[in-house]
Amino acid sequence: MKKFCLITSVFAPYNKGGAETVVNNIVAGFKKDNQDIFVITSGEFQGLKSFWPRKYLENGLTIYRFYPLNIFSYLNINNYGKKHFWRLIWHGFDMFNLHSYFMIKRILKQEKPEVVMTHMLKGIGYLTCRAVKSLRIKNIHTLHEVQLATPSGLILKGEENSWQHNFFLTKFYQLFNRWLFKSPDIIISSSKFLLDFYNQRNFFPHSKKIILTNPVNIKIQDDKNIKAKDYNNFNFLFLGQIEKYKGVLLLINVFKKMLKETSGLEKRKLIIVGVGSALREAQQLAGNNSQIEFMGYVPNQELGQIFALADATVVPSLCYENSPTVIFESLSYGVPVLAARIGGIEFIKDDYNGFTFEAGDEADLLKILKFVLQNKNRLAELSLNCCESVKEIGVENYIKKLEELI
């Protein structure tokens, strides 16, 4: 039996988004398969002792946590949203974090894994793959975002060629990252979009590259439940971070327009699940509208109850994302997805398991929302297709394919 190590900057109980859900699913899948795996991740600052790795045993899983030496923690980076100078300094430390390099190398020498799987490394240091390579350990790196090309990890629709993505410092950032990461043995991307994105920028020239859809905990619904679903009270669902770039403000605006233009029809509601820096602005935009409900943060284990309420999930992103986890979660519960055509949403097929619309286009989104309401009789078939489309992307199949690569 091989010994595996997984390195990621954020790990349970901390969570910043879909990437953490993917990592948690992978670790749980390896444990269920009785594989020998341990995790290296960052931790919060709790005095000088935090700089040295501490070994924990959590639910039978060995986890090494330490605080990577920097001016603030990645876990708190959102608190520095407008402090561009300090964020710039932080990114410089993070890219060339020698402290993380030596701490990770020290752990790997002690544990002697045969394979190291690296995921989100912003926050634990971009020298991580170098540390793995120096010990001649097989490295599988999984892509999650466009963070190696732009520090913020955000490229908005219509701003692809803006100054911040073509600034000379951004060009240097990409150049250094190509050098820092070199070519891990295997690169995994869950979407063709993200793999093409990095290929076009000459990243990982000698790596073996594959597309492997992110694993989700499949909750295939019973056909009888889907066919018996009542669409008289129609609920649209937004599930994710409440941030402007996620398109939630645009969705609220469009939903309010739809209510005016479809008055007299069935009850319609927009359910918004999540937290984020734009929450207050979103609540103010919604006003006292009783048909827009904010549910705040909902733990993963309770998402089934949320999707049971939903008739369609809306993913109105304004930024280029890899392969949003919410898409696959929604499909696994038999809930069709209405997704903006941007980034890695190639899994959504129009009039099969959902519909797509032009990112940032209010008129196009409004047309789709109205179309779905006016064609509710087709949703039962779409729901069955949703379940069918994700049958092969469960955690067990993902682990099996990953083990074949190793």
- Per-residue pLDDT 10s for the chain (406 aa) are 789 999 999 998 887 777 888 899 999 999 988 899 999 999 988 899 999 999 999 989 999 999 999 998 888 877 776 677 888 899 899 999 999 999 999 999 999 999 999 999 999 999 999 999 999 999 999 999 999 998 888 888 888 888 777 788 889 999 999 999 999 999 999 999 999 999 999 999 999 999 999 887 766 555 545 545 666 789 999 999 999 999 999 999 999 999 988 765 568 899 999 999 899 999 999 999 999 999 999 988 888 899 999 999 999 999 998 888 899 999 999 999 999 999 999 999 999 999 999 999 999 999 999 999 888 888 889 999 998 898 888 888 899 988 888 8
pLDDT value at residue 222: 54
Rounded CA-CA distance 181/130 in Å is: 7
In the sheet that holds 3-7, the strands lie side by side as: 54-58, 61-66, 36-42, 3-7, 115-118, 138-142, 186-189, 208-211
Q: Which domains does the chain have, with CATH numbers?
A: 3-216+393-405 (3.40.50.2000), 223-389 (3.40.50.2000)
Indicate whether this model's pTM tops 0.85: yes
CB-based contacts of 163, cutoff 8 Å, min separation 6: none
pLDDT value at residue 161: 82
- Give the Å distances, CA to CA, from 275 to 16, 64, 330: 11, 28, 19
pLDDT value at residue 394: 84
Rounded CA-CA distance 143/406 in Å is: 17
pLDDT value at residue 178: 96
